[in-house]
């Protein structure tokens, strides 16, 4: 991962739970050692080498519930929190709830287009139908309720459409949904009896001054009956945000509105995977229970977190400004997450050359960019896009100096490409 946020607190806690002898040394702050001791006390045999409960260590689940309460201002039940091996595992566990027919029809799930390919791949793996709804690029990738209705009605002709996936902040599109937009989505889900998958792993990554993250749980609760009883699973991960601990595989999901029997069976199914890694759970605890003012680790933690998010904000602006200065490019503001998804107009000769090379036009462009510059982007066709449009996804993660160098090289390549195929 590019940035090194949360480095000291997290690394020290992980070191202490892995080697408890370090708790007797004087090299770590007192709050770090207290954290490690409390986690070890919650483990079987006071060791992270032991299995935990399949849905996670109770102490950490309680800390996650407290985090959600602070975030939303509403009660969270720790027993509705399930720790997972990254958000992906939780998402797949919930998708498996839908692997059955309804009135003779196979189940389908509404997913955004563009989408994060975890969803299309998992739907294919479980034999579930995919019903795409297009995000509104002209309105900064908002969700248009009329488009949701269109997709639902179209999908219902062949499938039982039973769930909707919403990614907020967006991947690959970088948008942050407004509260009004979230309210409309919840009302749409309640109207059609849909299970909502709220992929909120980038909730800390909001850069646009006019944007704010609202969780689906918060908005649903504040809408009141009948909207506060919809089935909702929201997901969080330590792989994203300001932490970036992808390899530790930690995350959580909060379940709302599920029947008790259904939730019990979900936990039973999860038990087949034994438990998430204890080191991943430890990192989750560090995210959910951040240092408080006055604690020894607070100043360094706060400095690192602030620096990472401020730098990402600057890089988001750099990349959008550069792309929008390039001929044939149009890039929406990166309001949040870690990606830009610019639209590019390709010359007819380039499209013809792509066909001759048996490639999609955006794939052809991405390969040319990679071969000539070493810059790797992901073609928009890998995420889905409206027919006749071309995009690609790139991250905002390279450090500013490296990012500027990459953008300068990219700009030169595009000028040469356009001239060659104009």
pLDDT for the residue 3: 37
Residue 93 has pLDDT above 60, yes or no: yes
At 4 the pLDDT is: 38
pLDDT tens digits for range 241-256: 877 777 778 889 999 9
The predicted pLDDT at position 129 comes to 93
Q: What is the DSSP string of 95-108?
A: HGGG-S-BTTBPEE
Pair of tokens at residue 241: 């945000």
192-223 tens-digit pLDDT: 999 999 999 999 989 988 899 999 999 999 99
Average confidence score pLDDT of the chain: 89
Q: What is the DSSP string of 232-250?
A: EEEEEESSSTTT--GGG--
CATH class of 309-421: alpha beta
Category of 41 on φ-ψ map: left (φ > 0), alpha (ψ -120 to 50) or beta: alpha
Q: Of 167 and 117, which is predicted with more confidence?
A: 167
Tally of CB atoms within 10 A around 150: 13
Percent of the chain exceeding pLDDT 90 equals 51
Give residue 107's pLDDT: 93
**Distance between CA atoms of residues 91 and 118, nearest Å:** 9
Distances (CA, A) of 271 to 41, 154, 267: 22, 37, 6
Which of 400, 405, 408, 406 is closest to 2 using CA atoms? Answer: 400
Output the pLDDT for position 198. Answer: 96
Angle, helices 278-288 vs 58-72, to 10°: value is: 30
Fold entry, domain 36-288:
3.40.640
Q: Which of 12-26, 50-64, 187-201, 371-385 shows the lowest per-residue confidence on average (mean pLDDT)?
A: 12-26
Collapsing DSSP to helix, strand or coil, 391 comes out as strand
pLDDT of the residue at 414: 92
Distances (CA, A) of 39 to 33, 36, 61, 269, 286: 10, 5, 11, 25, 11
Q: Are 230 and 255 in contact (CB under 8 A)?
A: no
- Phi, psi at residue 170, to the nearest 5°? -80, 145
DSSP 360: -
Check residue 7 and give its pLDDT.
58
| Extents of the domains making up the chain | 36-288, 309-421
Mean pLDDT of 1-24: 68
Integer CA distances (angstroms), 210 to 27, 30, 135, 167, 206, in order: 43, 39, 20, 19, 10
- Please tell me the predicted confidence (pLDDT) of residue 17: 80
Q: What is the DSSP track for 256-268?
A: ES--HHHHHHHHH
Between the CA of residue 287 and those of 98, 111, 247, 336, what are the distances in Å? 30, 28, 15, 19
pLDDT tens digits, one per residue of 122-149: 999 999 999 999 999 998 898 899 999 9
């Amino acid at each position: 991962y590019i940035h090194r946020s949360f480095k000291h607190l997290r690394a020290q806690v992980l070191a202490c739970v892995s080697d408890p002898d370090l708790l007797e040394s004087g090299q770590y702050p007192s709050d770090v050692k207290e954290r490690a001791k409390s986690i070890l006390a919650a483990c079987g045999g006071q060791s992270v080498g032991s299995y935990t409960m399949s849905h996670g260590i109770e102490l950490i689940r309680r800390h996650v519930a407290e985090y959600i309460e602070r975030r939303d201002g509403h009660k969270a039940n720790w027993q509705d929190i399930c720790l997972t091996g990254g958000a992906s595992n939780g998402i797949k566990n919930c998708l498996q709830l839908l692997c059955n027919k309804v009135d003779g029809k196979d189940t389908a799930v509404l997913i955004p287009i563009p989408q994060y390919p975890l969803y299309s791949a998992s739907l294919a793996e479980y034999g579930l139908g995919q019903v795409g709804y297009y995000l509104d690029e002209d309105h900064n990738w908002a969700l248009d309720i009329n488009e949701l209705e269109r997709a639902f009605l179209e999908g219902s002709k062949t499938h039982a459409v039973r769930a909707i996936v919403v990614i907020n902040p967006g991947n690959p599109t970088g948008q942050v949904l407004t509260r009004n937009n979230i309210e409309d989505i919840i009302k749409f889900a309640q109207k059609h009896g849909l299970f909502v998958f709220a992929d909120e792993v980038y909730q800390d990554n909001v850069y646009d001054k006019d944007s704010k993250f609202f969780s689906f749980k918060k908005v649903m609760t504040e809408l009141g009956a009948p909207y506060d009883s919809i089935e909702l699973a929201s997901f969080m991960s330590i792989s994203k945000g300001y932490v970036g601990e992808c390899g530790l595989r930690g995350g959580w999901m909060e379940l709302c509105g599920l029947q008790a029997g259904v939730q019990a069976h979900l936990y039973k199914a999860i038990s087949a995977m034994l438990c998430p890694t204890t080191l991943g759970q430890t990192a989750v605890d560090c995210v959910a229970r951040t240092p408080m003012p006055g604690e020894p680790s607070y100043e360094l933690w706060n400095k690192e977190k602030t620096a990472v998010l401020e730098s990402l904000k600057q890089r988001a602006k750099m990349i959008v400004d550069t792309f929008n200065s390039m001929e044939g490019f149009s890039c929406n503001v990166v309001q949040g997450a870690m990606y830009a998804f610019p639209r590019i107009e390709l010359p007819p000769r380039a499209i013809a050359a792509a066909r001759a090379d048996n490639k999609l036009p955006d794939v052809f462009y991405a390969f040319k960019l990679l071969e000539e510059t070493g810059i790797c982007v992901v073609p928009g066709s890998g995420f889905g896009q409206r027919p006749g449009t071309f995009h690609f996804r790139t991250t905002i993660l390279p450090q500013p100096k490296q990012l500027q160098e990459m953008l300068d090289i990219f700009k030169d390549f595009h000028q040469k490409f356009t001239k060659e195929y104009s």
